[in-house]
């Protein structure tokens, strides 16, 4: 059974390309989605179009963010390879692989690893890895919550960094500044297709909104 926290983070598994029993994905009731030959995903209701290359670049961005704090988790739990496995699976997708069971399983495993961390910083770093594996499941829905798929790994990584520094919020801000420079024009373009990040979510939600605002302020040439 899938962890309910993972469902809350990434949506029901039927939105991940497979049913709970591994069968074909049934149509979403609220959106008529069409996948054409080049892998483009479009929704009639949302009018958001996402190509496979869009998703791969979003995933690559998320992986870079998560990798930057992986050592924080591994210092906490040196014998636990689950977050590293999630990052590896996300890299595989970003470099041309397909979405599938490996991504879902490694995201779930990274979530469980977060629960086993002894420190808050280690937990946030594992959540960053979970978010990297989940970034490929950005849905073509015009909802603010979808922004978490794009920016979640970056926000969790920033939170992990500031917690390691004694909850120094300036470290989180500096980490986000570095993260902005990792975003490709495609990532910025994809982000701007969605509504701005939602309210709530504690400090991580605040970091998501900060990163969201910083990236939206960029021009594609940057």
Each residue of 144-168: pLDDT tens digit? Answer: 999 999 999 999 999 999 999 999 9
CA atoms of 153 and 134, how far apart (whole Å): 9
Query: What is residue 3's predicted lDDT score, i.e. its pLDDT?
Result: 42
Start-to-end CA distance of the chain, whole Å, equals 43
- 17, 25 Cβ separation under 8 angstroms: yes
Spatial neighbors of 18 by CB under 8 A, at least 6 apart, are 24, 25, 100, 101, 104
Q: Six-digit token pair at 36?
A: 């054409």
**pLDDT of 92 over the 50 cut:** yes
Crossing angle between the packed helical segments 147-164 and 185-192, to the nearest 10 degrees: 120
Q: 99-108, pLDDT tens digit by residue?
A: 988 899 999 9
What per-residue confidence (pLDDT) applies to 29?
28
Contact 105, 90 (CB under 8 A): no
Residue 171 tokens read as 């470290």
Mean pLDDT to the nearest integer, 55-80: 97
- Of 37, 94, 87, 89, the residue nearest 67 (C-alpha): 87
Q: Between 31 and 201, whose confidence is greater?
A: 201
% of the chain with per-residue pLDDT over 70: 77
Average confidence (pLDDT) over 181-185: 95
3-13 as b/e: b if 16+ CB within 10 A: eeebeebbbeb
Rounded Cα distance, 207 and 4, in Å: 23
Neighbours of 178 (CB within 10 A): 14
pLDDT in tens, 204-221: 999 999 999 999 998 755
> pTM of this prediction?
0.80
């Amino acid at each position: 059974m899938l962890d309910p926290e993972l469902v809350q983070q990434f949506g029901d598994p039927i939105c991940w390309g497979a049913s709970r029993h591994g069968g074909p994905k049934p149509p979403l009731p609220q959106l008529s989605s069409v996948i054409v030959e080049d892998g483009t995903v479009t929704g009639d209701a949302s009018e958001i179009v996402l190509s496979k290359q869009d998703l791969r670049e979003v995933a690559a961005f998320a992986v870079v963010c998560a990798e930057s704090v992986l050592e924080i988790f591994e210092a906490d739990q040196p014998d636990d390879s689950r977050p590293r496995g999630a990052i590896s699976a996300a890299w595989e997708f970003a470099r041309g692989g397909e979405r599938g069971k490996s991504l879902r399983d490694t995201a779930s495993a990274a979530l469980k690893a977060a629960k086993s961390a002894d420190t808050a910083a280690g937990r946030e770093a594992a959540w960053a890895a979970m978010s990297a594996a989940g970034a490929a499941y950005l849905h073509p829905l015009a909802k603010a919550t979808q922004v978490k798929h794009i920016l979640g790994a970056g926000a969790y990584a920033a939170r992990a960094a500031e917690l390691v520094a004694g909850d120094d919020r300036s470290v989180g801000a500096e980490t986000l500044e570095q993260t902005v420079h990792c975003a490709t024009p495609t990532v910025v373009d994809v982000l701007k297709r969605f509504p701005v990040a939602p309210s709530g979510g504690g400090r991580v939600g605040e970091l998501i909104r900060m990163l969201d605002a910083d990236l939206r302020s960029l021009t594609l040439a940057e």
